[in-house]
A and B are shown apart, each in its own frame.
Chain A
Amino acid sequence: MLASGGLVAQNIAFGIVALIMVVGALRVVTTKNVVHAALWLVLVLAGAAAQYLILSAEFVAVTQVLVYIGAVTVLFLFGTMLTRAQLGKATDLNNKTWALGIPVALLVLGTLVYVLIDTFGDDKVVDDPKDVPNVPVQAISDSIFKPYLLPFWALSFVLLAALVGAIVLARKD
């Protein structure tokens, strides 16, 4: 699975980061401590940012760190605190039917794995290691404001709605 040739460093990096991410994700869903879960989530999000870097998506990586780790995680922690979640070890954070998740997850995983291997097999991201494309911010910006302007506007409405909504919902009445 590991690519051969020039991009060995990236591969190794990928592997390490992927491992960390997976472990972190697993800990998110299995830990008995809510705050720990949030922290493990941070690890995953960080790992994701690292992956973005490997994928030559610097801007996205930065955005990821800023938004996700910076805002979302804080939000999570706020939410945890505001809902008086038991800080420290909680007795149970799993549903009664948590066992149902395993087969479903495995089914999903299985499906995806099969499809992916079947479809992409040994496709390389980049054929020539020297030819790793660079995606400048310019290109991203062009992409946002030209072909994908509408989604951008929609997105801004979503954010507005979320903003307003969150205030409305959380308002004490």
Chain B
Amino acid sequence: MIASAAPGWFLEHAYLIPLIPAIAFVAIIAFGKRIPAVQVGRYTVPGGGSLIGIASMLGSLALSAGAAIQWIQSSHGHSYTAPIRKSWVWWQSGGIEIGLGQQIDGLSVMALLLVAFISTLVQIYSLEYLKGDRRYTHFFAALTLFSSGMLVMVLAENMVQLILGWELMGLCSFMLIGHWWEDPANSRASLKAFFTVRTGDIGLLVGTAIVGLSAQKWINANGLQDQYSGFSIEGISRWALAGDSQYKSVLTWGAVALFIAAIGKSGQFPLHTWLPDAMAGPTPVSSLLHSSTMVVAGVFLVARIYPVFFEGLRILDTDVNFIAVIGGITIIVAALLAFVQTDIKKVLAYSTVSQLGYMMMGLGVGAWTPAVFHIWTHAFFKCCLFLCAGSVAHSGSHHSFDMKKDMGGLARKMPVTFVCWVISSMALAGVPFFAGWYSKDEIIDIAGANQYWVFFGIGLAGAFLTTAYMTRATYLTFFGKPRGAAAGIHESDHGDAHASHDAHDTHGAHDAHDAHDDHGAHAGPHESPWLIKGPLVILATLAIVAGLINAPAFKIFKFEEWVEPKAEPVALVAEHSAEGDGTKATEESHSEGAARSVLVAAGGESSGEGEATGVGEAKGEEEHAGYPNGRIDEGHLTGECGTPGFVPASEEACYAPGILHHKFEWIKALPAFVLVVLGFVLSAGFCVLFYERKHRRLVGLTERNVLARAGYKFLWNKYYLDHLYENVIVRGIAHPLARAMYWVNQNVLDGIVNGAGRTGRKVGEITYKVVDQGIVDGVVNGSGAAARGTGTALRPTQSGKVSQYGALLFAAAALAALILVLVNS
């Protein structure tokens, strides 16, 4: 199929997508507060700048959708679609050029669309959720800036720009978690989030430096300076897959360092402790940043420069690697913690951590496409879950998120929320034919198929646990007898119900909150208004449907086709820059038909097909290049790049490593399904027994049984990790450091200052006593005394006594005579 000759306006101008929210951010900050709410008939058009935010997000969404459509059109039917790269030189230093620009390929298009879409929905949701909030305008400004930052990161052309977007997101996360910073718990949470992610960012900077500078060295050695800079994603990818053995250890260390950054940002064990605390922010923040978009930045990073990790950590080549291990541990650790939470948002937070573990594990076992697809599907159902939790709090439990105290029996009172929640939970659990099943089960499937049995097992266990804790959370929230606020008991003491989550401003403003919908009558739990319900419904629908674009069960591989980078070595055309307008635009396969045909011809055995499953069916049984025989027994390699020992030829370049695609079989999906069902049944049964019927054997088990109590306590204290981090590590470093600094301050610095003061005073004293009184006054007095003394000494000569005068006369004359004689002799 012939694609359009030109790549398309949306793809070329994709840099507008983050630019519009950035401008909107400035506008909201500048004018937002002054925009009043306008009454139009029955409706109130909200003021305060929120509409600017929503408009900008809609603009970004439109542009992203356009870009996505154009990308799909242009990539359809080609073996290799070059990313559309543009960059403008930002600064140069030491022979390295750092630019700002865009790299549009399948991954970035997907992420752009995802971020823009979720941001739009969340902003619409926030219109209702945060109505009357004390910092309404700044909330929308921060949300908009966040979206801009993530969009910048997603289409970053080079690592520096990626870091820029990364840090912008971190800043907005800090601002948004601490949105109600008047409560010290919230500001502590935002600080914890910031510092923990920052700890990981050490790895980001170190890793970028290592990787970028090494890539630059390789680029200079191969004369490719005018095509890429060392920090560009394409340059790094090509360098990593060049098979140059001198960079082996650099790749490993760079990969480790960069993965540490991903651990921090994506909440992997051991730096996951900030995510649950981040639930202190408003629910829209949790649903946007800390479930769908920001926390997947780490996963995105790994997926983006996958060649570095693939080569550095020898994914597929070794039995176990750093990424998979961390991912696997995270899955289990977080899932277990979700069982002991009473706060519904914290359950979802741990669930997010666990799912991020799935994504990382997927990347670690060579399941690139399923992991990225899981980003896609997870965003929808997790965002929906969070928004449902927000809806429950907003209209059901009177702003409380405590499941045990203020929820229960809400299924009938809030049907839409309930249905959306259930659909999203099923998607999360991986119930077949819901969105999560297509992505999560693929990860598990490929882990097994790639002979990573340990991780296969972990994945299955994770599925069981996920279903179990989600059932518990569902039961506590929507079933059973209504408790607390869900029962209409409105506690006059707002204290602990509002403790660290959706705290309202002052009680005065609470009345403003009462003014809208029918909340004022405190009629008990009810369904939320449409501004809240709408996004829920949309997302729940997507939670079913979004998975269908890549359903191996039904032989649909659209996502794979559009997003997965091709792993065949790419033949390089002689002319590279088709446009000489000073920007580095390498659009290798799109400008001329001639170029295209060259590529198609060079594609070799993978020519002219659009479905990756078609690649090398013939290769199915043969030994995969470099991989140990028997270790990976079936599946087809997407390309030669990255296989051990493969070095691309001189006119070819590799941009993505070859990964294995395995055939879907229904039988292979069975273990996961069984475990899901098991998990549901066991958990439901437990919940009914424990919570409803208060089975005497279960109630008080943790008090009677030492083992149970120990286990419960261990989980309740989050494995004592917070204790370890804050009390042991931080305190162990910070307190002695603080004491030492205090000592230095009091003794050294103050000593210096005091010493200077004392010295000054001493100098003053000495100056006064010695110099001023002694010397100066001495001179002055002395001259007077000398004069007086001289006078006194000479006065006797004026005694009036003649004989004395005579004596003097004679003496002087005699002396003068003597002198005269002596001089003249």
Contact = CB atoms under 8 A, between A and B. Distances in A.
Contact flag (A, B; Cβ within 8 A): yes
Interface stretch (A1-9, A97-105, A129-137): A97-105
A95 B805 CA distance: 13
A115 interface: yes
Q: Determine which residue in B801, B814, B817, B825 has the highest number of CB atoms from chain A within 10 A of its CB, and name it.
A: B814
A95 B801 contact: yes
A100 B804 contact: yes
Contact of B807 (A100, A112, A115, A118): A100
A59 B817 CA distance: 32
B706 interface: no
Contact of B811 (A107, A112, A114, A118): A107
Nearest to A100: B807
A109 B818 CA distance: 11
Contact of A115 (B804, B810, B817): B817
A97 B817 contact: no
B803 A107 contact: no
B821 interface: yes
Given A104-B811, A107-B811, A97 B821 contact: no
Contacts of B811: 103-104, 107-108
Contacts of A101: 803, 807
A111 B803 contact: no
Interface string B809-825: 01101110110010001
B319 to A, nearest CB: 122
A118 B817 contact: no
Contacts of A108: 810-811, 813-814
Contacts of A107: 810-811, 814-815
Q: Determine which residue in A101, A104, A110, A118 has the highest number of CB atoms from chain B within 10 A of its CB, and name it.
A: A104
Contacts of B807: 97, 100-101, 104
A168 to B, nearest CB: 22
Contacts of A114: 818, 821
Interface in A50-85: none
A104 B801 CA distance: 16
A151 to B, nearest CB: 23
B817 A111 contact: yes
Interface in A101-154: 101, 103-105, 107-108, 110-112, 114-115, 118
Contacts of A118: 821, 825
A173 to B, nearest CB: 25
Contact of B814 (A95, A97, A100, A104): A104
Contacts of A112: 814, 817
Contacts of A104: 807, 810-811, 814
B651 to A, nearest CB: 121
23 contacts: A95-B801, A95-B803, A97-B803, A97-B804, A100-B807, A103-B811, A104-B810, A104-B811, A107-B810, A107-B811, A107-B814, A108-B811, A108-B813, A110-B814, A111-B814, A111-B815, A111-B821, A112-B814, A112-B817, A114-B818, A115-B818, A115-B821, A118-B821
List of 7 A-B pairs having minimum Cβ-Cβ separation, nearest first: A108-B814, A111-B814, A111-B818, A104-B811, A107-B814, A100-B807, A104-B807
Given A97-B804, A107-B814, 12 more contacts: A97-B801, A97-B807, A101-B807, A103-B811, A108-B813, A111-B815, A112-B814, A112-B817, A115-B817, A115-B818, A118-B821, A118-B825
Interface of A: 95, 97, 100-101, 103-105, 107-108, 110-112, 114-115, 118
